[in-house]
């Protein structure tokens, strides 16, 4: 290595070490945070804490940039001190609750950074009498469902199906699941919040004002501050619900059923949520695979009611009683998470999940995809030989048609038939394997372009996709840079989000590659 590079590297390393030590000294001076809640790269538990909530293995490789410090606050004062010391010493922070973000933005940065990991802030207080709950942002969906079920068999909450997803990011990006057509998004149920702003002040709905309260319910909390807790409305469900999963192959008329599903699932009664999963599975012939359409459903009622509804709205499907299972709502959360029925509900409290390599994308569909396009789509499933690939079609309609686009920053309401979630995954990391799968996903995304929303081609913020555009330097994002993805995630709400950001964080302290930009920087 040339001498000038050695000198430059030595200077940069010394600067990083000095900044880290200054940051740590600041923390100790301005908070009572226990040293056991702080992890540096010299800490024996540093790697295990870093990896615990890292869900995409693409961003957990030896070459992935690592934080100089991980702070795991147990009190809001620790968050305040972390923000204040980060500002004082010009250290970027990344905020992590569950770590499911698709591009690793909560635990990776191209510039020196600190992770503020909310794993110790996960208390949940369910008020059965008033049908509300206060949930700290470090809790998971599974923990929330478990605590609700402890108090009631007829209260529930409309959030996602994966139990290990963190509440902080899920709620602030929208948050949909099997109850969405009946009750709306998780963000639609939020009635108060506690947030630490850039000045280190603790704000609630009243003190933050309605503009900021609007922005964090679907606009992504990490652009505006650190969400500490959410207050939400709980919803009422029957003591018994009905579920089914029916799988159809192409030989069993899957193409026509998928085509018909597109015009049924969005219009059917809002008590029925009929989701569709498309994937290739091994066939009985060695080395061969078959395309499988898996229709999975939650119905807020009993089997006989469901059969009558399906016969009226989707007779071609041929649903029979033997396909259906009655259970409680909390049992259904295990069912849709793919957890065996004989498992204890305690498994919902398990925060650990194996990280895997994957790339995800999303789309919204406003007109049924033609049969000929579906037939072309099936060919893509055979292309992924070493890994897995799936599409999830999640229906809209119901109450989602009744909430205006501007009610929250999440704009994808009336006019959408369904959302598409694309996901390709693989089991090992090397440059060629990763590039092959990511290239596959990009080509498929191009194939789907004629059949999805346009002007803009919309996307779901919680399925982060840096292909849509980013500020890859992790520094200050301009409006021009941000509009490439901001209009896709938020449509006409994007400009209002920028206005709020410019008011509450004008110097753009809270930032990442797809954070809302401030007009003042």
Active site residues: 463
d(CA 300, CA 238): 6
Q: Which helix (H) or strand (E) holds 512?
A: none
- The 3-state DSSP class for residue 497 equals helix
Half-sphere exposure of 489 (CA within 13 A, CB side): 29
d(CA 436, CA 414): 36
How far does Cα 373 stand from its chain's mean position?
28
d(CA 427, CA 433): 9
d(CA 381, CA 289): 9
**SS (HEC) of 236-301:** ECCCCEEEEEEEEEHHHCHHHHHHHHHHHCCCCCCCEEEEEEEEEEECCCCCCEEEEEEEEEEECC
Strands (E), 300-400: 324-327, 357-365, 388-395
- The 3-state DSSP class for residue 188 equals helix
DSSP letter for 144, please. H
d(CA 307, CA 17): 66
- 277 Cβ contact list (under 8 Å, min separation 6): 293, 294, 296, 390, 391, 392, 393
How far does Cα 502 stand from its chain's mean position?
25
């Amino acid at each position: 290595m040339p001498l000038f590079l050695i000198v430059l590297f030595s200077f940069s390393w010394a600067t990083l070490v000095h900044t880290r030590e200054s940051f740590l000294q600041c923390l100790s001076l301005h908070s009572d945070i226990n040293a056991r809640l702080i992890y540096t790269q010299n800490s024996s538990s540093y790697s295990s804490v870093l990896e615990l909530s890292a869900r995409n293995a693409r961003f957990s490789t030896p070459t992935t940039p690592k934080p100089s410090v991980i702070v795991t606050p147990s009190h809001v004062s620790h968050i305040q001190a972390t923000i204040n010391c980060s500002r004082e010493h010009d250290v970027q922070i990344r905020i992590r609750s569950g770590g499911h973000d698709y591009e690793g933005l909560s635990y990776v940065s191209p510039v020196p950074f600190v992770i503020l990991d909310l794993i110790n802030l996960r208390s949940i207080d369910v008020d059965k009498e008033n049908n509300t709950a206060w949930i700290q942002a470090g809790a998971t969906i599974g923990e929330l469902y478990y605590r609700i079920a402890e108090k009631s068999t007829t209260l529930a909450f409309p959030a996602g199906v994966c139990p290990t997803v963190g509440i902080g990011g899920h709620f602030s990006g929208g948050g949909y699941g099997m109850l969405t057509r009946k009750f709306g998004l998780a963000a639609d149920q939020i009635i108060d919040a506690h947030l630490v702003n850039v000045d280190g002040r603790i704000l609630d709905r009243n003190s933050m004002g309605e503009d900021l309260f609007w922005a964090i319910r679907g606009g992504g909390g990490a652009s505006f501050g650190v969400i500490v807790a959410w207050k939400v409305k709980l919803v009422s469900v029957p003591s018994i619900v009905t579920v089914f999963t029916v799988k159809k192959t192409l030989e069993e008329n899957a193409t026509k059923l998928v085509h018909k599903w597109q015009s049924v699932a969005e219009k059917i009664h809002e008590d029925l949520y009929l989701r569709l999963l498309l994937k290739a599975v091994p066939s009985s012939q060695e080395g061969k695979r078959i395309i499988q359409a898996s229709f999975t459903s939650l119905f807020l009622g009993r089997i006989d009611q469901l059969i009558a509804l399906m016969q009226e709205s989707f007779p071609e499907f041929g649903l029979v009683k033997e396909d259906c299972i009655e259970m409680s709502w909390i049992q259904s959360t295990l069912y849709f998470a793919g957890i065996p029925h004989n498992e204890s509900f305690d498994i919902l409290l398990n925060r650990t999940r194996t990280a895997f390599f994957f790339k995800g994308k999303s789309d919204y569909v406003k007109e049924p995809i033609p049969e000929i396009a579906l037939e072309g789509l099936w060919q893509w499933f055979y292309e992924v030989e070493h890994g897995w690939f799936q599409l999830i079609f999640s229906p809209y309609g119901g109450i989602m048609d009744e909430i205006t686009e501007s009610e929250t920053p999440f704009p994808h309401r009336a006019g959408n038939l369904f959302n598409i979630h694309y996901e390709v995954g693989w089991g090992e990391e090397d440059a060629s394997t990763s590039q092959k799968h990511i290239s596959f996903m990009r080509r498929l995304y191009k194939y789907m372009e004629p059949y999805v929303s346009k002007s803009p081609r919309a996307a779901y913020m919680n399925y982060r996709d840096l292909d849509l555009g980013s500020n890859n330097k992790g520094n200050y994002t301009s409006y021009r840079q941000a509009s490439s993805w901001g209009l896709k995630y938020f449509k006409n709400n994007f400009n209002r989000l920028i206005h709020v950001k410019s008011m509450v964080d004008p110097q753009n302290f809270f930032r990442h590659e797809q954070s809302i930009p401030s007009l003042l920087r």
